[in-house]
Structure 1
């Protein structure tokens, strides 16, 4: 039988009635499920994986918060020195709703100074804790923090303990970056893994404005 968006123009009255009955049953089942989903809580959200889109998805949620006039904040680790479209847009137009802190200085192969990288990551984490502790801020994006955790620039146990013990109950935290560690994945409420299928970089195409940054 045809599905919701695949009704043949030659469908008979019997076909249409059967389809309507099928959709009514689906709606009733869906309504029953949703009736038991009344709770709210501040989520720990992880975007990881080798595919593109982890930070992009995090910034999409930041824009949703702005649209709902929910105070929010961004702390960028590692790549914070980059001039990005997201940073330009937020700082120029929405600084009253979204605080933006670019705390990184580039990847390790750019700084070539591990102690400096660790210091930058620690400074970013201290700022993140300050923002998260503020119950007025409803969403905090920790962009590329998973990279800092992967290289042990930050202590994972410390980060997890802070999120468990000090995050306000209704504050959402999004942590992005590939190679998220398993304990973080276990502690999270929502985890999305971006799978790499094709990427233009492998064909010699450099990162481009509007797509990569």
Structure 2
């Protein structure tokens, strides 16, 4: 018996009837690196197609000075940093929660207005998992969004109601991470 699989005789989608969709809900989750990085690649694609595009960051604050923010603003992405940093570094969790709640109200309105064809909700899973934002409300907003508005959500342990409404869900799996070796996040690689 060979260790190799039999060669494919048909393409995996040959028997599937494909349809067009005016928009999608996409999720990148899991404990591996690359959730936001991959989502920013989709942001670039959106801009390249001439789509009005927005990013709402739920954890990083406007003080982070990230590479993705710099280039996104230069190419016309509407950028909103709504967080105040990582919760474990917060000196006032009530303020962090209030910022997350306000960020969700802002993002929900942004989605419902339908002015953007692509909206990235970066690191939105964290405030949902901490009970600051209702995952069912997020899922309902995604389900009832304007027809031409795609939404990309990132963050570890994405709540099940969001996964259930999403069209595409990718789980990033950590095999090895530099942080485990005591290496700090690096400009140009991690932010």
TM-score by length of structure 2 reads 0.89
Aligned pairs for 1:34-183 within 5 A: 36-81=17-62, 82-91=64-73, 93-95=74-76, 98-165=77-144, 167-183=145-161
CA distances 1:22-47 after superposition (whole Å, capped 9, x unpaired)? 99x75xx578557x323213211111
Structure 1 residue runs of 5 or longer lacking an equivalent are: 1-21
Segments of 4+ moved more than 4 angstroms: 29-34
Q: 1:202 to 1:37 in 2, by over 3 A?
A: same
Hey, which of these two has a bigger chunk of helix by percent?
1
Aligned pairs for 1:173-212 within 5 A: 173-212=151-190
Structure 2 residue runs of 5 or longer lacking an equivalent are: 1-6
TM-aligned CA deviation for residue 207 of structure 1:
0.6
User: What SS is found at the alignment partner of 1:74?
Assistant: strand
Q: Which has more radius of gyration?
A: 1
Corresponding position of 2:3: none
Question: Does the CA contact (< 8 Å) of 1:117 and 1:153 recur in 2?
Answer: no
Task: Provide the rounded CA distance (Å) in 2 between the counterparts of 1:122 and 1:181.
Answer: 17
TM-score by length of structure 1 reads 0.80
Task: Provide the rounded CA distance (Å) in 2 between the counterparts of 1:205 and 1:94.
Answer: 31
Task: Provide the rounded CA distance (Å) in 1 between the counterparts of 2:139 and 2:32.
Answer: 25
Q: 1:31 to 1:56 in 2, by over 3 A?
A: closer
